[in-house]
Amino acid sequence: MPDSRPHIHISPTPAPGWGIVSTIKEVYAYRAMLRMLVIRSLRLRYKNSSIGVLWSLIMPLMQVLVLWVVVGFVLNTGPSNMSAYMLCAYLPWNFFQTSLLDSSSSVLTYMDIVEKVYLPRELLVFATILANAVHFVMALIVFLAYRYLITSFIFGWPGMPPTEIFLLPVVFLIEAAFVTGLSLILCAWTTFYEDVKYILMVTLNLVFYFMPVLYFAENIRYAERIPLHLRTLAYHVYLLLPMTWIVMAFKQMFFKIANIAPRGHVPIISAPFDYRLLAYSALISLVVLIAGMAYFNRMKWKFTERP
């Protein structure tokens, strides 16, 4: 009787070309293992915790409380629901940050398995990102409850979101592609040079303050310290950073155009959703994803040779 079991060819050298098609086929063949790795990652995060995955709901709630107190009562700046704007922007940034940090060390974490058993190394990065995507969805549920239930009792019923809310899955897929491409590159680097992990931590802490999380991207256009003739240019260059637009897009998908200036100041109107930036960010994310997969495919065969 002929053997009907699927045969997987294991090559000690990178696949010809960029090896992207062969990688996708191999990952699909190992989809059961991918699912197992995602479940294992979710369980390990809250191992020995009495409430387990509920921490994914509690942490965003605590973040909301801090933002509400600090922004609404201490600083007393921005729109009346500034804390909701900040939490909305914090969600995509947190997914970006935690995914990069976790996935960059994913091969090192499973190195004992990698050295003894064959599996597509990409699975380790993909599983880490998918696990963080699960936490993102849970945090998003908390945000929706805060945005459309809690704030309605404090600031009045917020009304329906803009029609761009239906683009939420598209924007998240763009971010996921961008994160995956970067994670594959960083994981390859970190496997050989563990200093990359610490450099990444410092870099992300600095980049956070350049992202429009604690403020609005539109504030760049009206910044008094930027020469008047350079403000428009600085604003558009700022939006060319994919994560800048993604964070900004989340605010635009959940909030209608509104006055975002500090209370008592000259009104500043938030920008509408820009479909040109959607196309641009999608293109950049696709390029980064392809480059990351090609680079990882070339380097992964050397992982077991690391000193």
- The full DSSP string for 103-137 is HHTHHHHTHHHHHHS---THHHHHHHHHHHHHHHH
Centroid of chain to Cα 268? 28
Domain locations in the chain as residue ranges: 20-43+51-302
Taking only the tens place, the pLDDT of each residue in 161-180 is 788 899 999 999 999 999 99
* Polymer length in residues for the chain: 307
Predicted TM-score of the model (pTM): 0.85
Q: What are the CB-based long-range contacts (under 8 Å, 24+) for 205-208?
A: 207/243, 208/93, 208/97
Give whole-number Cα distances, 195 to 22, 104, 202, 230, in Å.
31, 11, 11, 37
- How much is the pLDDT for 53? 63
Residue 290: which pLDDT band, with cuts at 50, 70 and 90? very high
Question: Average pLDDT for residues 271-292, to the nearest whole number?
Answer: 92
Sequence-distant (≥ 6) Cβ neighbours of residue 193 within 8 angstroms? none
Q: From CA 154, how far away is CA 75, in angstroms rounded? A: 18
- Residue 188's alpha-carbon distances to 12, 25, 117, 122, 251, in angstroms, are 17, 21, 19, 10, 33
Residue among 110, 98, 112, 67 nearest 85 (CA)? 67
Q: Name the more confident of 78 and 24.
A: 24
Which tokens sit at 220? Answer: 């760049």
pLDDT at 50: 64
